[in-house]
Structure 1
Amino acid sequence: MNFPFSAIVGQAQLQRALMLCAVDPSMGGVLIRGDKGTAKSTAARALADVLPQIDTVAGCAFNCGAGAVSEHCDACASGTPRQAPVPFVTLPLGATEDRVIGSVDLARALQGGQRVFQPGLLAAAHRGVLYIDEVNLLADHLVDVLLDVAAMGVNSVQREGLSIRHPARFTLVGTMNLEEGDLRPQLLDRFALMVEVAAPREKTVRSEVVRRRIAFEADPAAFSAAWDEQQQALHRQLAEAQRLLPQVTLDDAMLDLISHLCCEFDVASLRADIVMHKASRALAALDGRLHVTPADLRAAAELVLPHRRRRKPFEQPGLDRDRLDELMREASPPPPAQDDAGASEDGEQTPPEQQGEEQVFAAAPSAAAPRIVVESTAGSSSAGRRSEAMGASRGRVVRAVPDEQPTSIAIGATLLSAAMREPGHVQVTRADLHQQIRVGKSANLILFVVDASGSMAAQRRMEAVKGAVLALLTDAYQRRDTVAVIAFRGQSAQLLLAPTGSVERAEQGLSELPTGGRTPLPHALHLALDTLDKSAHRAPALMVLLTDGKANVPLAADGDAWRESLELAGQLAERGVPALVLDTESGYLRLGRAAQLAQTLGAECLTLEQLSADNLALTIRARLAPT
């Protein structure tokens, strides 16, 4: 039993976004982003209980509607029309591709040797809701499937002698926590609306959330019964809005305003204009109106534009509401003329340095510059999630081939071979065995080890180092790699950011990195070894070390910090960890210890002068052997 949708506290915008997609399912869906424990999943699942029913046919596996019968549906020819709840289908992160798109019905193949299509989750979600919890963790091959189906509204299955096409139009609802990594841009754009949710900050609201949740867990049936009247009211509101929607009008002036807002916020996708048009009309219908108002457009913009306006890897998602209000005022009729005696006579702007901006560990500006390519000697040209590895132990199954000694049996192909060889009498022999052929993608881990000690505290050098890290993070973002950051200062090293796909969190962690103190370089290299060991089963790795090499805090009480650093660097080299050293030492007299570290690591060493603050463009292309 789901928590009642109407009983959710403090998430009005989230509820409104879900209701808009219920009013007009053609919009595309809702992405719900926020911290854990903020009612993301609760709200998404609760939506199913207030959705108006749909017309379908009893026993139909494709949720066919009247006049839209699938050619592959046997039930539609003889079934009787009926009212049914809107399908709400959950797509598990570990689902196989066969389960999602459909496959051969093995039972009928074994009984009569017939190739009959068994519908998958996409067929079950047609005309309903497809829900994905933690959508940003969905495997790439399933994301590819969703992109194809979302673009065409049709699921096409070409496998094992089958050639099937069936309609698959659904509302995609996904939840995610940004700490777990980002969504691929193509999939992100497919979500019509996006809502950022956070836990309430008011004590009374938080206590009411807890009170209702405890009451629901104690007696779900009684709690739901207490909210039945509000649930029915929402149900009727959505049904009436669906009825009104075709009659809602949006005039040309409003359409021009939509295009103006999208241009002003640098939105590249034309899907934003279309979705704002639909969302504005749905808002009017939900309020029982037949004409779209500027207030509808503004409310729609807050849901449609934030996840589409981001143009740079590290620009935080969101919308400048002050700028939105300004654009809406400019589009409104001008107010009556006012006396301008109170106008400011001082046209000067406040200098940035007087506006209270923090300048701690700021990034240096960079301009166009030659790109430096750093390659490891691991011997493979494959890197990043964009590189496919045929024959991987994990990944999507692309085909099945006959193999009398398979390491991973393709059960469907094996049974189908036996069934088709002798219909009605299935006996699997070694000649029927098939091997699964998979295509996997290998993600890289880029580990940044950053010296934040007092020997690096000069602001100009710190700005250049921060700029270098951002350039490297940009490359990681583009290649969808995993990033981790270790900072060392004072008496120890700290894993500032555990391995993550969220480079925005990495950038934020670096921005807040404190500086000063001694240089515990051995601690940092020891922590780097530990971090790489823990992630070795997941990804090939590249270590980027930013230091001047002036180690002065040993691991052992009576140890030699520099000797320990070289020993640990040797251990990293023995494990074949590709590395890059950025030498941040400056001044006339230099010890050259960073270069010695690089030699021990078997790594490339670049000086700070090669990464000047005014001329910075560094890209890593780490060629790692496939796992």
Structure 2
Amino acid sequence: MHDQVGLAVFPFPAIVAQEELKLALLLVLVNPAIGGVLLQGPYGVGKTTAVRSLLDLLPPVEQPVCERGCRADDPAGQCADCRERVSKGQALTLVASVRLIELPLTARIEDVVGGVNERVALEQRRVLLEPGVLATAHNNLLYVDEVNLLDPPVVDAILDAAAQGRTFVRRGPMVRLFPSRFVLIGSMNPEEGRLRPQIMDRFGLRVWVGPVAERPARLAAARHVRAFSADPEAFRARFDVQTAALARLVAAARTALPAINPTTAAEETAIALVDALQIPSHRAEITMLEAARAHAALAARDVAEVADIEAVALLTLRQRHSPALAAAAERVGVEDAALRQVMNVLLPS
């Protein structure tokens, strides 16, 4: 696990072009219920740079003091140091900056979900269930690069935690529950292999990140990278005002989000789009409406309108249509019609 703490990150407002990428990232910051975002594209187009730049846009959050994630409401799971802190009346959390947790390709399921502390088991002859990366990612950003190359059980565990907001660590009859609410961002290069359809379906937003096409913008991007490499702090200072304004926008949108609902017209439009595209998943319209709520919040509107649906439709609907499933559904329909015809003859009502 790589934890991006204390590193100078490229300013989000300095990212040239890539408007869809920036919009998708802002939407999941505002509303993690969207289900995360999957960034697809070749190497060297700024996917990881954009993800790391999000650290400037989020307010400080409550973080555990202990690297094991010990909690005051779970005395049995506390380490010796944290039990001593509690006995002295000290808090087990502090307010700190949001962290970016990067999951390496070598991560095992035990690393991700959690497991038995082997040192405690050997030295103290007792079982202590420790949190994994998913618990560490609580209240933070979890970035899974090359998600298509991870072991399937690892990806399943990540997506389950993202959907449920919690992680269970089990060993025999023992179970510990850890909160795991985080913003999930995955990325992949399609040249290296596809993502299973059932995994793809659970990523709320899908973005194709390619090289910038327009030459002036491409030149501006190259100059920004060169300036940042030469003097990161001086370059960041050029965008301080814009970064601060964007951080305030995100904070205001997150605060406003719970009160924002889609209009009936927006709901009907979302379902009509999914219907017309023959997308065989209710998750499509649910995700679209959650993204529309976030879009309305960023625009400082009280309701999500049809215009918000239009703004997020491509992000939420691409790569969801399945010709194989559509053909299977059609075959079932034809067979059902034939069955009903026979039943009407032999089983008259």
Say whether the fold is shared (TM-score over 0.5): yes
Offset at 1:53? 2.3
Count how many residue pairs are aligned between Structure 1 and Structure 2.
311
> Which of 141, 161, 167 in structure 1 is aligned with 2:179?
167
C-alpha contact (below 8 Å) 2:39/2:206 kept by paired residues:
yes
The superposition leaves residues 414-460 of structure 1 with CA deviations (integer Å, 9 ceiling, x where unpaired) of xxxxxxxxxxxxxxxxxxxxxxxxxxxxxxxxxxxxxxxxxxxxxxx
Corresponding position of 2:328: none
Letter in 1 for 2:203: F
Which TM-score applies when normalising by structure 1?
0.47
3-state DSSP of counterpart to 1:99: helix
Distance 1:123 1:172 in 2: 13
C-alpha contact (below 8 Å) 2:40/2:208 kept by paired residues:
yes
Corresponding position of 1:245: 257
User: Does the alignment pair 1:270 with 2:282?
Assistant: yes
3-state DSSP of counterpart to 1:190: coil
User: Does the alignment pair 1:47 with 2:59?
Assistant: no
Change (3 A) 1:278 1:115: same
Offset at 1:298? 0.5
> Which of 301, 312, 322 in structure 2 is aligned with 1:289?
301
Offset at 1:70? 5.3
Corresponding position of 1:235: 247
Distance 2:76 2:139 in 1: 17
3-state DSSP of counterpart to 2:256: helix
The superposition leaves residues 125-168 of structure 1 with CA deviations (integer Å, 9 ceiling, x where unpaired) of 12322111111111223123224434443322223774222222
> Which of 81, 85, 97 in structure 2 is aligned with 1:85?
97
User: Does the alignment pair 1:138 with 2:150?
Assistant: yes
> Which of 1, 19, 31 in structure 1 is aligned with 2:26?
19
The superposition leaves residues 304-363 of structure 1 with CA deviations (integer Å, 9 ceiling, x where unpaired) of 0002124349xxxxxxxxxxxxxxxxxxxxxxxxxxxxxxxxxxxxxxxxxxxxxxxxxx
Change (3 A) 1:71 1:264: farther
Change (3 A) 1:129 1:202: same
User: Does the alignment pair 1:119 with 2:131?
Assistant: yes
Offset at 1:59? 3.7
Corresponding position of 2:339: none
Letter in 2 for 1:53: P
Offset at 1:292? 1.7
> Which of 218, 237, 257 in structure 1 is aligned with 2:230?
218
Corresponding position of 2:205: 193
* Unmatched runs of 5 consecutive residues or more in structure 1: 314-367, 369-627
C-alpha contact (below 8 Å) 2:60/2:96 kept by paired residues:
yes
Distance 2:108 2:9 in 1: 26
Distance 1:61 1:108 in 2: 13
Change (3 A) 1:61 1:23: farther
3-state DSSP of counterpart to 1:175: strand
C-alpha contact (below 8 Å) 1:249/1:281 kept by paired residues:
yes
3-state DSSP of counterpart to 2:44: coil
Q: Tell me which protein shows more helix as a share of its residues.
A: 2
Letter in 2 for 1:20: L
Change (3 A) 1:114 1:63: closer
Matches within 5 A, 1:377-416: none
Offset at 1:57? 5.1
Letter in 2 for 1:199: P
Letter in 2 for 1:211: R
C-alpha contact (below 8 Å) 2:131/2:178 kept by paired residues:
no
The superposition leaves residues 276-305 of structure 1 with CA deviations (integer Å, 9 ceiling, x where unpaired) of 111111101111111222211101111100
Letter in 1 for 2:165: G
Distance 1:63 1:129 in 2: 19
C-alpha contact (below 8 Å) 2:39/2:47 kept by paired residues:
yes
Q: Aligned Cα RMSD in Å?
A: 2.4
Change (3 A) 1:71 1:261: farther
Offset at 1:114? 2.4
> Which of 9, 15, 19 in structure 1 is aligned with 2:16?
9
Letter in 2 for 1:50: L
Offset at 1:206? 0.8
Distance 1:304 1:63 in 2: 37
3-state DSSP of counterpart to 1:204: helix
Corresponding position of 1:436: none
C-alpha contact (below 8 Å) 2:37/2:184 kept by paired residues:
yes
Offset at 1:31? 0.4
Distance 1:73 1:286 in 2: 40
Letter in 1 for 2:26: M
> Which of 85, 95, 110 in structure 1 is aligned with 2:107?
95
Structure 1: 4+ residue segments shifted above 4 A? 60-64, 68-73, 75-78
Offset at 1:234? 1.2
C-alpha contact (below 8 Å) 2:116/2:128 kept by paired residues:
yes
3-state DSSP of counterpart to 2:177: strand
Corresponding position of 1:558: none
Matches within 5 A, 1:521-532: none
Which TM-score applies when normalising by structure 2?
0.82
Corresponding position of 2:340: none
3-state DSSP of counterpart to 2:40: strand
Change (3 A) 1:164 1:189: same
3-state DSSP of counterpart to 1:130: strand
Change (3 A) 1:241 1:151: closer
Change (3 A) 1:157 1:179: same
Change (3 A) 1:137 1:209: same
C-alpha contact (below 8 Å) 2:77/2:129 kept by paired residues:
no
User: Relative to structure 2, which stretch is displaced further, 197-206 or 148-157?
Assistant: 148-157
Distance 2:174 2:97 in 1: 30
C-alpha contact (below 8 Å) 1:56/1:63 kept by paired residues:
no
The superposition leaves residues 178-209 of structure 1 with CA deviations (integer Å, 9 ceiling, x where unpaired) of 11111111211111111112111211111111
Corresponding position of 1:604: none
Change (3 A) 1:274 1:72: farther
Change (3 A) 1:80 1:147: closer
3-state DSSP of counterpart to 2:143: strand
Corresponding position of 2:44: 37
Corresponding position of 2:4: none
The superposition leaves residues 512-543 of structure 1 with CA deviations (integer Å, 9 ceiling, x where unpaired) of xxxxxxxxxxxxxxxxxxxxxxxxxxxxxxxx
C-alpha contact (below 8 Å) 1:97/1:142 kept by paired residues:
yes
Corresponding position of 1:334: none
Distance 1:198 1:272 in 2: 24
% identity of equivalent residues: 40
Larger relative contact order, structure 1 or 2 (CA cutoff 8 Å, min sep 6)? 2
Offset at 1:83? 2.4
Distance 1:237 1:192 in 2: 22
Change (3 A) 1:196 1:117: same
